[in-house]
Structure 1
Amino acid sequence: MSTNSSTAESKAVDMAAVRQIVDRAVKAAVPANQMTTRKIRPESDYGFPEPQPLAGLQAALSVARLAQNQAYTFAKGLRGEGSSWDEIADLLEIEWSEDYVRRERAFELVAGPVSSYSYDRYVFFTCGGPRGCGERITDRGPYNGYPSDNEDGHTEGCRRLAAEVEAYRRKQDELDRRAEVMDEALPLVTDTFGKETVRRVRYVQSHGGRYQGWSTSETLAVALVLRDDERLGEVGYSDHEEALRRIMSGMSTPPRDPAGWLATVRAAATGLQD
């Protein structure tokens, strides 16, 4: 599930109401002797009650921690309904990092710190959703491949678990198929710019969609291969054919079939065939 956080937030949450609730919660957490009055003007007799800065900061951080813990509780509920850790990572807006895998980071945050008597983290949920078996499940996290290796407690023949295992198998089969396509297509990319484009595309794929400071033509080539219309627009080329012409104009020996060249580079870099 892909989540546009700003759009989803605006549709699902009344931020004006949230601000009022947070303001009331912070003020309620501050002792009366640590409140002050902020006047509209120095000479005014009327003002607003407001926490002193240190007390306000401490209260706001406490409210934020409680709200975050509540979010993790709801994330466990989503896990029970059938959401994957990848989907939950999107909802928690976990950024890509070289230091962790996003779905594993989501699990670790929701599970909380390792207990003093165990080296492992666990998330417990009831197997729900339309295919759920209704049993209490122990989730050890998305570290292994098969869902059945990560979750204990499902009834034999649980339809939800079977569907998750089948989805995992299909994903692995697709990855294997794409790997074969890449192996077959890579030798067909013979020009230097094409080879460098393959390398750049694979960099973007393995770094959470991050581009480096490449030239306009280099960026356009990567964006075309990935069909990244957003990046094409940022560079000023919303039309694919126009972008491809720009790339060809910068090549010392452009290919006779630009569209075929692009398709071959795409196959070699991503395993996707036009």
Structure 2
Amino acid sequence: MGEPFRVSESGRAAGRIRELVRRIAVEVFGTTETEVPIPGFTVFTDRKLDDPLAGVRAALLMRSVAEAQLYDYARSARAAGRSWDEIGAVLGLSTGGVPVGEEAFDWLVCGRVPDPERKGIRSWRTPSAYWRCTSCDAQVTDDGPFESHPADNETGHTDSCTRHQADIAAWKQRTGWDD
């Protein structure tokens, strides 16, 4: 007898999200459902939305909320000391030579969809992300990972911020430069 079919944890979560989108289509956007037989089975049925546009509206709402959450969690990750490179790695970005952190910032903060063919070309004006540093509790303006020196990327930390001072010390160690 073969191995039983197993669904991964993320597969189960995806199923719950699909079910939630369906429920929102019914409860919020007013469609109804019909039970339809699954081809090849006599007992099993599937649910079909009577108005698929309600499903489109529900999925669009879910996507908008998820995109806002993605941005909020990325800002929280930055506030907690995570780098744009780490965020880009979690996003699974393939950048075609552009540093993954820059691509993550461009996508999440600037709203530019990752494009491996872009090869580092950005508009002259880059929006900023704002978050509260968990080390110094100051409001930080994060202009992205585009410059070498940490002070050129983030402003607003207090002079005694241990996190920012550690970033600067790591930069000095990495580059061999002294401000």
The TM-score normalised by the length of structure 2 is 0.71
User: Any gaps of 5 or more consecutive residues in structure 2?
Assistant: 1-7, 113-124
Partner in structure 1 of residue 142 of structure 2: 139
Unaligned runs of 5+ in 1: 1-9, 175-274
Instruction: Choose from 124, 128, 141 the match for 1:122.
Output: 128
Please identify, of 64-73 and 135-144, the stretch whose mean Cα deviation from structure 2 is larger. Answer: 64-73
Instruction: State the Cα distance separating 1:60 from its structure 2 match.
Output: 3.2
Tell me the matched-pair count.
155
Offset, 1:87: 1.1
Q: 1:41 Cα deviation (Å)?
A: 5.3
Q: Deviations over 1:131-181 (max 9, x none)?
A: x1111111111111111111111111211111001111222239xxxxxxx
**Equivalent AA in structure 2 for residue 120 of structure 1:** T
Q: Which has the larger radius of gyration?
A: 1
User: Is the 2:130–2:141 contact (alpha carbons within 8 Å) kept by the matching residues of 1?
Assistant: yes
Residue 28 of structure 1: aligned partner = 23
CA gap 1:57/1:97 in 2 versus in 1, 3 angstroms: farther
- For 1:147, the aligned partner's letter is P
- Kindly report which structure 2 residues correspond to 1:47-86, keeping only aligned pairs within 5 A, or say none: 47-51=45-49, 55-57=54-56, 59-86=58-85
Distance 2:140 2:105 in 1: 14
Paired position in structure 2 for 1:160: 163
- 8 Å CA contact retained: 2:95, 2:103: no
Q: 1:57 Cα shift?
A: 4.8
Amino acid at match of 2:137: G
Cα distance change, pair 157–45 in 1 and its aligned pair in 2 (3 A): closer
- 8 Å CA contact 1:89, 1:106 repeated in 2: yes
Give distance in 2, aligned partners of 1:55 and 1:70. Answer: 23
> Cα offset for 1:66?
2.7
C-alpha change, 1:133 and 1:50, in structure 2 (3 Å) is same
2:171 counterpart of 1:171: no
Higher helix proportion, which one?
A: 1
CA distance change for structure 1 residues 167 and 47 in 2, over 3 Å: closer, same or farther?
same
Matched, 1:148 2:151: yes
In structure 2, what is the equivalent of residue 19 of structure 1?
A: 14
Q: Deviations over 1:3-45 (max 9, x none)?
A: xxxxxxx7xxx32441232122210232343644322359969
Secondary structure of the structure 1 residue equivalent to 2:176: helix
Which stretch of the first structure deviates more once superposed, 86-95 or 38-47? 38-47
Taking only the aligned residue pairs, the percentage that are identical comes to: 28
What is aligned with 2:108? 110
In structure 1, the residue matched to 2:119 is none
Are the counterparts in 1 of residues 79 and 133 from structure 2 also a CA contact under 8 Å? Answer: yes
